[in-house]
Chain A
Amino acid sequence: MELDDILASLFPAGHEVRVAHGRIAGHGVLRDGRRIHVVGLADGIALGVEDAASLAAQVLAIARQTDAAPILMPIDSSSQRMSRRDELLGLNEYLAHLAKSLLLAEQAGHRTIGLLYGGSAAGAFIATALATGTLVALPGAHPEVMDLPSMARVTKLSLDVLREKAKATPVFAPGLDNLARTGAVHATWDPAQPLTAQLEALLAEPAGDDARDLLGQQRQGRPKAAAIAARVVHEATRGG
């Protein structure tokens, strides 16, 4: 789905969302009049230091508001921007700051919902969509932690061999389905139905603790993570 159609379907009552330089900003209104902040990335942008700082500033401004209005984060990006300048300036801090800002806003009562409608990869994915409290996706989204050609180069395996291996496990190959099976994606929305209803239904669910590892276990994409994390917590807390 295109961003305009998505926004129209999400906010039939209207929205004030602008896209500039690949950054999405504004707000929309649900059918019951509830205000939804919208902050995100568009046009497959590579997330650099300026973008991250700009997004974080918006998120922090929302966090200061006491309206408890949710933040919707539509994402269509590539990876972080790969450049000498970005790394020289400490891109890791900018991306981490964005992730922290999202978590702070959530802590301050603003639910954060990622909406993956295009691509995303690597550090950009971690700092945005994966830092939200709930991540949903639309069909056609194409997240890619690591592209297969790069993997082929590093692992010295051919693309064909990698594609064959990808059939046996969702754990490394790109794509929405693979990622969903590891528990990263809470649900994939149905574009044929009004998105506004699907968002309202999601907001009606209580926001719980991070349960992505349990989801990955159920969906058999991450067989061990939930149990290992739980066992560490158990061993660390049994003393006192």
Chain B
Amino acid sequence: MSVISALRNETTSWYEASARQRIDALVDRGSLTEFVGPAARETSPHLAIFGLPTQLDDGIVVGEAALDGRAVLVAAQEGRFMGGAFGEVHGAKLVGLLRAARATRRDVLICFDTGGVRLQEANAGELAIAEIIRALVLARLAGVQVVGLIGGRAGCYGGGGLIAACCSTLIVTEQGRISVTGPEVIETNKGVEEFDSKDRAFVWRTMGGKHRYLIGGADRLVADSAAAFRAAAIGALSSPTVLDAGTLDAEQARLERRLARFGTAEDATEIWSALGIDPVDDLPALDESSFLARAGGKRESADGAR
């Protein structure tokens, strides 16, 4: 058995890990205290109507922990339960955490893994996302850092994508996708000519972590490992950004510049070329260090304008 343990690939893949495994590997060892944990059995009251099973934590872990010795609040969505979608209880736990962050001035780490609103409780989920955005922005206006971590199977879709873009800093892997409307939904509504959801290379170069990093939609690109996320999160908290009128004016300018520079692009590769990156065709295949080396100095950066 010890021989077996020695041979394991001990890198915890963020993509593969569960919400609990992600938090365990992200924060200081054993430092998590969970709020309204599974033993409280606060499950969704709505899924039974659809004959669907509940999960004891409704698909999200929230709590307090230490990150490199600093007291933080943490949340992690479980992308495999109902696609990590926001339901009433799920959403309310994150609302509470962000309200507490403002009250206690503690920074927050949110591990996103979500398809957006949970259909079976759509109104409650939609409203929860609105409450989360409000609580998050108020916490940031009070000086709290909110760091989003994206690299799960479900990506960060729908309202999740909006919440993510409200964070102070976003850390992504190439697997991490950030978007509002999902590929299948665009294809269903607008046709396969508009969006071929089966063409996965296309999906990832349009919505994936590398593209988001290149256009300034994410701030740090890391390898698919919990250790890399941890290091990047520590780095993010040690270089805080502010949210004020100046930040949003800068973001306005940044987003308008993006429209002006790339507004006519048909494909992500045209944007990458316009950034001056050359060549672009093998960008998706590159490992993180080669990618960062090639993108260095050429990408659009949010630089705190978020």
Contact = CB atoms under 8 A, between A and B. Distances in A.
Given A171-B124, A229-B99, A84 B158 contact: no
Interface in B120-138: 120-131, 133-135, 137-138
B64 interface: yes
Given A96-B166, A179-B123, A228-B92, A88 B35 contact: no
Interface in A9-27: none
A228 B96 contact: yes
Residue of A80, A122, A228 with highest tally of chain B CB at under 10 A: A228
Contacts of A86: 180-181
B138 A229 contact: no
A123 B245 CA distance: 23
B164 interface: yes
Nearest to B135: A210
B117 A130 contact: no
Given A123-B159, A126-B126, A93 B255 contact: yes
B137 A100 contact: yes
Interface string A129-165: 0110000000000000110001101110100000001
Interface residues of A, number: 80
A231 B217 contact: no
B21 interface: no
Interface stretch (B12-20, B188-196, B232-240): B188-196
A173 B50 CA distance: 13
A84 B195 contact: yes
B92 A229 contact: yes
A63 B245 contact: yes
Interface stretch (A28-36, A37-45, A219-227): A219-227
Given A82-B190, A224-B88, A184 B123 contact: yes
Nearest to A151: B119
Given A93-B165, A126-B126, A104 B141 contact: yes
B258 to A, nearest CB: 6
Main SS class of interface, A: helix
Main SS class of interface, B: helix
B26 interface: no
A232 B212 contact: no
Contacts of B95: 213, 225, 229, 232
Contacts of A60: 245, 248-249, 252
B35 to A, nearest CB: 4
A92 interface: yes
B217 A90 contact: yes
Contacts of A237: 100, 103-104
B36 interface: yes
Interface residues of B, number: 86
A160 to B, nearest CB: 15
Interface stretch (A49-57, A67-75, A188-196): A49-57
Contacts of B89: 224-225, 228
Contact of B206 (A88, A130, A230): A88
B119 A97 contact: no
Residue of A93, A99, A126, A228 with highest tally of chain B CB at under 10 A: A93
Contacts of A151: 119, 122
B29 interface: no
B42 to A, nearest CB: 6
Interface string B251-266: 1100110110011010
B62 interface: yes
A94 B35 CA distance: 33
B45 interface: yes
A224 B103 contact: no
B248 A182 contact: no
A91 interface: yes
Contacts of A146: 117, 119, 122
B162 A127 contact: yes
B36 A97 contact: no
Interface string B204-240: 0011000110010100000000000000000000000
B295 interface: no
B84 interface: no
Contact of B166 (A83, A100, A172, A222): A100
- 7 residue pairs, one from A and one from B, having the closest CB atoms: A232-B96, A96-B165, A92-B161, A236-B100, A130-B130, A229-B96, A228-B92
15 contacts: A53-B255, A87-B206, A88-B265, A90-B258, A92-B164, A93-B217, A95-B165, A99-B137, A100-B248, A131-B133, A165-B50, A171-B121, A171-B122, A232-B99, A240-B104
